[in-house]
Amino acid sequence: MLDIMKYFTLKEMKKSLVISIWFMILTFPIMVIKVNTIENTVVWRWASLIGMGIGSFFMATLWRYLLDRKNMKSDITDKKTLQMRVMDWANENPKVKKIALVAVVLFIAAFPFLTSMYQTSIMTTALMYVVLGLGLNIVVGLGGLLHLGYAAFYAVGAYTYALLNYHFGLSFWICLPIGAGLATIMGILLAIPVLRLRGDYLAIVTLGFGEVIRIVLENWNEFSFGPSGIAQIPRPGFFGMSMKLQTATIYIYFIMIAMVIFTIFVVRRLENSRIGRAWIAMREDEIASESMGIDITKSKITTFALGAFWAGMVGVIFAAKTTFINPASFTLWESVMILCVVVIGGMGSIVGVVFGALILILLPEYLRAFSEYRMLMFGAILVIMMVFRPGGIISNIRKKYKFEPTEGSSNAEVEGVK
């Protein structure tokens, strides 16, 4: 282990001092000078300069300590990470694992009855981002295709329900598959022209696609009622029963829970299937995977279609939950937010994306008191994540297979341990 005292030698302190002076100069205009325009005076807040200096001095030291620690860790490649150790431990203690699972299930089931309607509502939103994140994870995490227009599919789902309900009075449960289906078709339509694109170019085109959908919705008044949106969208029904707001909120919460379970189930199965392996191979190396017999065209279209499928579904639920939608809900920011969920959570990792969504959506809600600093913290978290954990909070670990040590035996036990 590194000795932290090493960072308080004269040489190291000099480095930190330089950084702190640099930060003092940088923040001088905003931290120190305060112009009072009414009395035409300037207030010099020297105290905050000193605070800034001391703060950045220690932060710089800490930063270098953490960075060195990280580099030292990566030298020892076969050292197990905390994540792996937790997983091994859980596998060795099946009883504890079971108890923990039961506790989690109970907590999820009891959550809306123990907390307020507001809590249930934000939890539902977070769960929606879990599904959105898992959907985008198929495109970005498994397929390796950078997609910046994901919110467009979300919009397609939401508007499908809102418009079909407005014009034809179709119910939530009928619109759920229709919304998902339409989004899937949109996904295929987008995939066909971008087949040849990769990386930055793909990002630009998908970004453009997302904006096109939003701008059409904003300006085509006859179709989508423009920026004023569509109001009074009914909440999901339960065999024609009318529900109070509170019951409806809880009901949507459980619909969302079911959706999350359904999504995790499907994505998990896909990930370790022939199709999923083809996606990952495509992400790793397109030319090599094509030479191994994988149809890249088909793979790309299926990732886009399946990714869009989930967004469409969540879109329908979103419209039903908020009962009002307008194009402002489907901006580029939304796509970026979902992408952040995937990247911060851990690309290609289901558990990672679930955690990423919960953290990114719930934290700002609980930290309302600091809402002015939200963007600042968001930026800081992104930078710190990229430096210290580029693989995300919980990075993807490939499935391992066990074989009996006997060489070439045809009846070796095939068993997956995840």
Evaluate whether 227 touches 235 at the Cβ level (below 8 Å): no
CB nearer other proteins, residue 272 or residue 323: 272
Residue 206: which residues within 8 A CB-CB, separation 6 or more?
Answer: 146, 147, 148, 149, 150, 190, 194
Taking residue 61's Cβ as centre, other Cβ atoms within 10 Å add up to 19
Q: Which stretch binds other proteins (CB under 8 A): 9-17, 106-114, 291-299, 310-318?
A: 291-299
Based on the shown chain and the rule CB under 8 A, indicate whether residue 294 belongs to the binding site for other proteins. yes
Q: Which stretch binds other proteins (CB under 8 A): 91-99, 105-113, 177-185, 295-303?
A: 295-303
Task: Report DSSP state, residue 325.
Answer: B
Residue 235: which residues within 8 A CB-CB, separation 6 or more?
Answer: 172, 243, 248, 251, 252, 320, 321, 323
Based on the shown chain and the rule CB under 8 A, indicate whether residue 398 belongs to the binding site for other proteins. yes
Based on the shown chain and the rule CB under 8 A, indicate whether residue 264 belongs to the binding site for other proteins. no
Counting every residue written for the chain, the total comes to: 418
127, 180, 280, 311: which one contacts other proteins (CB under 8 A)?
280
Based on the shown chain and the rule CB under 8 A, indicate whether residue 188 belongs to the binding site for other proteins. no
C-alpha atoms less than 13 angstroms from C-alpha of 228 in its C-beta half-sphere: 5
Question: Which residue from 254, 230, 231, 258 is spatially nearest to 243, judged by alpha carbons?
Answer: 254
Q: Which stretch binds other proteins (CB under 8 A): 18-26, 130-138, 182-190, 269-277?
A: 269-277
Site pattern 357..396 for other proteins (x: CB under 8 A) = ----------------------------------------
Evaluate whether 384 touches 393 at the Cβ level (below 8 Å): no
Alpha helices in 230-273 (DSSP H): 245-271
Evaluate whether 139 touches 164 at the Cβ level (below 8 Å): no
- Which positions from 53 through 92 interact with other proteins, judged by CB under 8 A? 77
Q: Which stretch binds other proteins (CB under 8 A): 58-66, 98-106, 334-342, 402-410?
A: 402-410
Instruction: Please report, as a single letter, which amino acid is at residue 114.
Output: L
Based on the shown chain and the rule CB under 8 A, indicate whether residue 273 belongs to the binding site for other proteins. yes
Evaluate whether 188 touches 304 at the Cβ level (below 8 Å): yes
12, 218, 290, 365: which one contacts other proteins (CB under 8 A)?
290
Taking residue 358's Cβ as centre, other Cβ atoms within 10 Å add up to 18
29, 169, 240, 293: which one contacts other proteins (CB under 8 A)?
293
CB nearer other proteins, residue 131 or residue 151: 131
> Closest approach of Cβ 271 to other proteins, in Å?
9
Taking residue 268's Cβ as centre, other Cβ atoms within 10 Å add up to 14
Instruction: Please report, as a single letter, which amino acid is at residue 102.
Output: V
The CA–CA distances, whole Å, from 240 to 163, 167, 206, 236, 288 equal 20, 19, 40, 9, 54
67, 284, 374, 388: which one contacts other proteins (CB under 8 A)?
284
> Closest approach of Cβ 77 to other proteins, in Å?
7
167, 244, 274, 368: which one contacts other proteins (CB under 8 A)?
274
Based on the shown chain and the rule CB under 8 A, indicate whether residue 185 belongs to the binding site for other proteins. no
> Closest approach of Cβ 396 to other proteins, in Å?
8
Separation between Cα atoms, residue 368 and residue 146, nearest integer Å: 31
Based on the shown chain and the rule CB under 8 A, indicate whether residue 142 belongs to the binding site for other proteins. no
96, 100, 285, 387: which one contacts other proteins (CB under 8 A)?
285
Q: Which stretch binds other proteins (CB under 8 A): 20-28, 112-120, 161-169, 292-300?
A: 292-300
Based on the shown chain and the rule CB under 8 A, indicate whether residue 277 belongs to the binding site for other proteins. yes
243, 266, 336, 351: which one contacts other proteins (CB under 8 A)?
266
276, 307, 312, 392: which one contacts other proteins (CB under 8 A)?
276
278, 308, 311, 354: which one contacts other proteins (CB under 8 A)?
278
Separation between Cα atoms, residue 297 and residue 199, nearest integer Å: 16
**Residue the block writes with tokens 């939103």:** 125
> Closest approach of Cβ 177 to other proteins, in Å?
15
CB nearer other proteins, residue 121 or residue 289: 289
Cα 318 from chain centroid (whole Å): 17
Evaluate whether 132 touches 307 at the Cβ level (below 8 Å): no
The binding site for other proteins (CB under 8 A) comprises 77, 266, 269-270, 273-278, 280-281, 284-285, 287-296, 302, 306, 398-401, 403, 407-408, 410, 412, 414
